[in-house]
Structure 1
Amino acid sequence: MDIAGPVPAQDAAAPASARDEMFALLRLAGPLVAANLLQMSIYASDVIFVARLGTQALAAATLGVYLYSVVMFALQGLVGAAAPVIAAELGRRRHAVREVRRSFRMGMWLAVLASLPFMLALAHGRDILLLIGQDAQAAAAADGFLDILLWAMIPAIMASVLRITIAALGRPGWAIGVAAVALGVNLLGNWLLVFGNWGFPAMGLQGAATASVVTSFAMCAAYAVIALTDRRIRRYRLFGNWWRAEWARLTELVRIGVPIAVTLTFEGGLFSAAAFLVGLIGVTEVAAHAIALQIAAVAFQVPFGIAQAATIRVGMGYGARDSVWIGRAGWVALVIGTGFMVLTALAIWVAPRAFVSAYIDVDAAENARVVTLAVQYLAVAAAFQLFDGAQVVAAGVLRGLQDTRVPMILAALGYWVFGFGSAVLLGFPAGLQGVEVWIGLAVGLLAVSILLVWRWSIRARLGLIPRTA
């Protein structure tokens, strides 16, 4: 039977001041940011190994990973609904042990149930890639890659639920350790299976996919061990009664999570469409676009981690029905997230070539055109850093209020009407050589950031704040 009980005060204590809230937020966000950066290193290591197999293999892996990543990003958003729900239960404190366990259990159920149809779809990856006009040979190679990679989906999404829960329960630091272990497993797996070292079979592209599957299972297992052994976490008995359905709770997670998944798909779709538009100009522009976007993506991991932490902090205030705590947590997160992006924007603006040099030799004559274009794109990226930080943190604080449906609509409007529309309307005849696409991205991010921050600022008038306890 479920054992109910109050959560200890230190698990969900309201901060006494903005300074206290800032430190609470940073303690939670710091490990999440570090884990996000390590996760990016895992993806980068895959590219490094596969690139040595040749252009055809790299193209096939890129196509396969693109399809897989689109699905993964959406599913992580779906189960991400567990964060505000668990945080609210901690904030309420009444029967929090039982309620957290139920939300976690249904989050894990959702990870499995939602993954299955997408795994079936990815099993037909070749047909999907041919349908969108990709090269037949690359699509065939990507199909075999996806047939293996799709088995990483369920453990990866389950690991995401575990990470969310463990962070909300006050142990975000474990995310760094698990991500570091995952990076090591992935590097070793690629080294052994892609090229056949230490007597292992040289599986090539399939070896890289197998390494990713092993890495996902390792991450899930590591988090499970933590949940069972950490003194602070194990009292919640997260795996207790794992077979028992809580349909109302599952429905609540779906209600909150589906708009999050759709919002992330809108955002990811905009950047994918931007790459397609740049591809219509030329290969050199695509290379410059990829470099500039990777630089922006690294900087984005900081406000993204702050947004993840803000969802939990605002969610605790929401569960406690403490409007002061809610407001303080949200505004502190917005100031810190946007403030950091001011620093990255200045750094990119002042020394763009230094950032580009991390990816290619900026002094080589054959790279001159790519470097010139990348620097131009980064000039725009420096501006949209501010908007990117504001929009992701604003989305995070609204999720803490379990407000996801209207932000989804605002994201669709901002990204696709203002953002993509601006990129298309500026038009290629303008002679900006891809810069117009980046201006479109900046306009889209600016629109979404304004809309979401505005909605956050009028949260009380919209009835998003629960009555004060």
Structure 2
Amino acid sequence: MNAPEPPDGGTRPAGLGATLRALVALAWPIVISRATQAVVGIADAVMVAHLGEAALAATTTGATNALCVFILPIGTVFIVQSFSAQLFGRGDSAGARRFGWYGLAVAAGAQALGIAGAAAAPHLLARLAYAADVRALMSGYLQLRLLSAGAAVGMEALAGYYGGLGDTRRPMVANVAAMVLNVLGNWLLIDGHLGLPALGVAGAALASTLSTTVAFLGLAATFVREGRRAGTGRLRGSELWRVLRFGVPSGVTWFLELLAFVFFVNVVFAGLGTTSLAALMSILQVNTIAFMPSLALASAGAILVGQAIGAAHRDRVPRVLAVTFAVCAAWQLFVGLLYLIAPDSILAPFSPGAAPEGAFHAIGRRVLVLAAAWQLFDAAAMVLGEGLRAAGDTAIVMWLRIAIGWAVFVPGSWISVRWFGAGDAVAVGWLVLYLALLALVLWLRFRSGAWRRIELVPEGA
């Protein structure tokens, strides 16, 4: 399949209905892509749950800790979509392809980081307050899972490149393949089937690593083959520098926000006991799937924002984001309602054989009520954050987001639990406050109009 042609004049229709149709057309493959990524996480959790709370806590928390290593380069290559969309809107498909290559260069660096992280994992975990059995299982998980860092980042880089062109279906196919391979690998390796050894938690990690790598290699082969036919032009150090200049602040933002959350999980919540930790991480796995449609819509909105800016139609950006937020908000409110009316059904897959009146369900119900409260804030933060990133507004946004995470969320939750003995409800309440403040500051930043003066791709470049 050839890359799509730029729309007439490099623009998209500005009407409400046309914007909504374009948004949905871009978003539904991203919904499937992001949902498959979430299914990988939740399949790991569900398929090891029968091994006990220690295995469940090690797998879910290990996946979050692995993401902490992946997220800096992944957050950096998100900017590839912004460059690709703006250049596509300008009619420069060869220029957009070069930025796909720059994303792969970042992925190569991420692979080196993953190998180093795998070697360091046992020493780092020894310093944290996990139960001994959870620590041992998580160490083995991370040593295998981190070996797929380059593949995970490369998948995001190429998804950003194709997404900027308006082709969100090709990355969807790669992600569906990764999901199918991961679930099959879990079945083969966690309990041992078809003569393979039963590796337990390590089997879940190995399945994730192999499936991600195979899917990435398939997508990369397509990208290289198309480049030989269509041409790319000479790669330029100045363009790679612009990727790092605008992308690294985005990556640092994602990394430090995730690090704040990892601190919350590993230091604040882990101190409340294994049952509390298992309940929280199980709900977050569910929430990861539940917010995927909104994340996909926000990404689709960012593509339209980038294409509009590239075509010199910045006046269309507020309408695009307003439509995107309206759709995201409707979905997130529906999710919150489900959390309120069916908490035990949501928790049941993570607690096989456990009674609803037990501690796991009691904690889970409290957390689900608070999770319902953060849905609208989450939608606003996703849409505004993606829109600002598409415009290249990454540096100031980085400082705003870091300040909220590390000056409010981290100290507030830690002091509440460690100094005042607060429980799980208060701890998660700080997460709700964090998302509310994040949505507010991103809205104020967008209203300031600073994004209108940023030139991600300079005129005449």
- State the number of aligned residues: 456
Q: 1:188 matched to which residue of 2?
A: 184
CA distance in 2, matches of 1:190, 1:436: 35
- Aligned residue among 303, 318, 326 for 2:309: 318
- Show CA shifts across 1:81-114 (max 9, x none): 1010111101112xx1220121111111111124
Shift of 1:372: 2.8
CA contact 2:6–2:88 (8 Å) conserved in 1: no
Paired AA for residue 390 in structure 1: A
Shift of 1:53: 5.5
CA distance in 2, matches of 1:64, 1:254: 28
Aligned CA RMSD, in angstroms, stands at 3.3
Question: Is 1:332 matched with 2:328?
Answer: no
Paired AA for residue 293 in structure 1: L
Q: 1:269 matched to which residue of 2?
A: 259
With 336-345 and 80-89 compared, the bigger mean Cα shift is at: 336-345
Q: 1:420 matched to which residue of 2?
A: 410
Q: 1:279 matched to which residue of 2?
A: 270
With 138-147 and 281-290 compared, the bigger mean Cα shift is at: 138-147
Q: 1:82 matched to which residue of 2?
A: 80
Q: 1:442 matched to which residue of 2?
A: 432
Q: 1:255 matched to which residue of 2?
A: 245
CA contact 1:123–1:146 (8 Å) conserved in 2: no
With 437-446 and 131-140 compared, the bigger mean Cα shift is at: 131-140
CA distance in 2, matches of 1:272, 1:63: 9
Paired AA for residue 379 in structure 2: G
Question: Is 1:387 matched with 2:377?
Answer: yes
CA distance in 2, matches of 1:363, 1:189: 27
Q: 2:218 matched to which residue of 1?
A: 222
Shift of 1:191: 3.0
Q: 1:346 matched to which residue of 2?
A: 337
Shift in alpha-carbon separation, 1:49–1:461, aligned structure 2, 3 A: closer
CA distance in 2, matches of 1:113, 1:430: 43
Structure 1: gaps spanning 5 or more residues: none
Shift in alpha-carbon separation, 1:80–1:58, aligned structure 2, 3 A: same
- Aligned residue among 285, 291, 294 for 1:300: 291
So what's the TM-score if we normalise by structure 2?
0.87
Shift in alpha-carbon separation, 1:202–1:369, aligned structure 2, 3 A: closer
Shift of 1:460: 5.2
Shift of 1:206: 4.5
With 302-311 and 115-124 compared, the bigger mean Cα shift is at: 115-124
Shift in alpha-carbon separation, 1:331–1:267, aligned structure 2, 3 A: same
CA distance in 1, matches of 2:135, 2:275: 23
CA distance in 1, matches of 2:245, 2:87: 17
CA distance in 2, matches of 1:295, 1:305: 16
CA distance in 1, matches of 2:440, 2:119: 40
Shift of 1:404: 0.6
Shift of 1:158: 1.2
- Show CA shifts across 1:39-64 (max 9, x none): 11112223344455666665655564
- Aligned residue among 224, 227, 246 for 2:236: 246
CA contact 1:376–1:435 (8 Å) conserved in 2: yes
Shift of 1:245: 4.2
- Aligned residue among 155, 158, 179 for 2:154: 158
With 189-198 and 383-392 compared, the bigger mean Cα shift is at: 189-198
Classify the secondary structure of the residue corresponding to 1:131. Answer: coil
Question: Is 1:119 matched with 2:126?
Answer: no
Paired AA for residue 253 in structure 2: T
- Show CA shifts across 1:261-290 (max 9, x none): 122123323332333323323344333323
Structure 1 residue runs of 4+, over 6 Å off?
Answer: 428-431, 465-469
Q: 2:174 matched to which residue of 1?
A: 178
Paired AA for residue 307 in structure 2: M
With 434-443 and 64-73 compared, the bigger mean Cα shift is at: 64-73
Classify the secondary structure of the residue corresponding to 1:197. Answer: coil
- Show CA shifts across 1:236-270 (max 9, x none): 857857xx642111111111111111221233233
- Aligned residue among 399, 409, 413 for 2:399: 409
Shift in alpha-carbon separation, 1:410–1:173, aligned structure 2, 3 A: same
